[in-house]
Amino acid sequence: MTTTNTPIITVQQHILEEQKRFPGSSGEFSSLLSAITMGTKMIQAKVRRAGLSDILGEHGDVNVQGEIQQKLDVYSNDILSHFLSLRDSVGVLVSEENEKPIIVHNNLENANYAIVFDPLDGSSNIDVNVSVGTTFSILRRPEGVGMNDAEQWALQPGNKQIAAGYVVYGSSTILVYSVGNGVHGFTLDPSLGAYILSHPNMRMPEQGKYYSVNEAYRDSFPPGYTEYIDRLRKGFLGHKYASRYIGSMVADFHRTLLKGGVFLYPPTESNPDGKLRLLYEANPVAFLAEQAGGMALDGTGRVLDIQPVSIHQRCPLVVGSRVEMEDFEQVMVEAGSTPKSDSF
């Protein structure tokens, strides 16, 4: 008899249960996810001590994005790459921090997965103690594609993801993931060093009260976006909205998943294709949003249907509750930005 009526379920136990949904899988899937859980536990330990171990400040190098790397970026990338490379089932790694894909096992026949990840999203917020996060997406090697074409392992539309998730390093450390069977959240208990199921079967509210966008760029948003944001500011469909913007996509999405509403990163003058990366930012959250009953659009259609052409390509992202998202879609159709579709 435990001291509580609520079963204590670790993420490892949960993954094993989910694993049963993949007939014939030999535990490689749970091994993959355990690499991510182990890596993020070590990342969070550094994040929690960032102010104490002179790890703050810039690493000095510049990453493929042209951004000055923070030391935690580098550490997080090294840690996740290390643990994932230990898994025989991993063939290719694609990280925001690496210009090219990393070929992990080019001679193992069961190296059939590509893991796409952003080791530390929101890193510009590290030095001011604002929540940051790790995102990941798991793809199966496309039929007939070998190691000599590593990019093709990752250049698949988001609807091909077999799993995706994130870890948000906030007031607590929470892992959220889905293997296509709903969305589940686990809170790290630092005293146990274990992720414990805290948010089973997460559902995004049908409608929320927050909208989330960097309004400083408002004047450069394409037609439709400002009209939509004005509708949110004035309130529609019966209630007023409040604005929340953290500036870390994982944290802004996590709030949207829990409370509903909408998060937007539209095209801007400096980022005409949007700032967020399709493969390891938009796709994972779009997968989770849809699994939780929400929607994710890029202003012209469904994010998960975008066929990627380069591993670091950007895309606009509007993600949130069904009510707000259907309204967004309608506004964009009227603005001529979105082709009329009957799929929503």
Nearer to ligand P6P, 70 or 338 (CB): 70
Q: Is 122 in the site for ligand P6P (CB under 6 A)?
A: yes
| 254 vs 275 by CB, closer to ligand P6P | 275
Are 244 and 255 spatial neighbours (Cβ–Cβ below 8 Å)? yes
Helix (H) or strand (E) holding 251, with range, is helix 249-259
> Smallest distance, Å, CB 270 to ligand P6P?
8
Among 275, 282, 287, 329, binds ligand P6P (CB under 6 A): 275
Q: Compute CA distances 99 → 58, 62, 64, 318, whole Å.
A: 19, 11, 5, 26
User: Which range, of 83-91, 151-159, 161-169, 247-255, touches ligand P6P by CB under 6 A?
Assistant: 247-255
| Contact yes or no for 19/29 (Cβ under 8 A) | yes
| CB of residue 268 to ligand P6P, shortest distance in Å | 8
As measured in angstroms, the least distance from the Cβ of 226 to ligand P6P is 16
For the bound state, the minimum distance from the C-beta of residue 239 to ligand P6P, rounded and expressed in Å, comes to 25
Smallest distance, ligand P6P to C-beta of residue 95, A = 14
Nearer to ligand P6P, 186 or 265 (CB): 265
Report CA Rg, the chain.
20
Cβ at position 341, least distance to ligand P6P in Å: 26
How far apart, in whole angstroms, are the C-alpha atoms of residue 291 and residue 184?
A: 10
Which distant-in-sequence residues (6+ apart) come within 8 Å of 121 by Cβ? 96, 132, 133, 134, 135, 166, 248, 249, 250, 281
Smaller CB separation from ligand P6P, 182 or 247? 247
Scanning residues 102 to 121, which ones bind ligand P6P (CB under 6 A)?
121
d(CA 206, CA 304): 20
CA distance 165 to 135: 6
Residue choice 69, 77, 207, 248 for contact with ligand P6P (CB under 6 A): 248
Regarding 249 and contact with ligand P6P (CB under 6 A), the answer is yes
Residue 38 in tokens? 């182990």
DSSP secondary structure code for residue 307 in this structure: -
Region from 26-34, 38-46, 137-145, 244-252 binding ligand P6P, contact rule CB under 6 A: 244-252
Beta pairing class for 295-297 and 317-320: antiparallel
62-65 long-range contacts, CB within 8 A, separation 24+: 63/96, 63/97, 64/96, 64/97, 64/98, 64/99, 64/312, 65/96, 65/312
Residue 53 CB, shortest distance to ligand P6P, in Å, is 22
Size of the site for ligand P6P (CB under 6 A): 10
Interaction between residue 157 and ligand P6P (CB under 6 A): no
Contact flag: residue 37 with ligand P6P (CB under 6 A): no
The region, left, alpha or beta by phi > 0 then psi within -120 to 50, assigned to residue 265 is beta
Per CB under 6 A, residues contacting ligand P6P are: 121-122, 124, 214, 247-249, 252, 265, 275
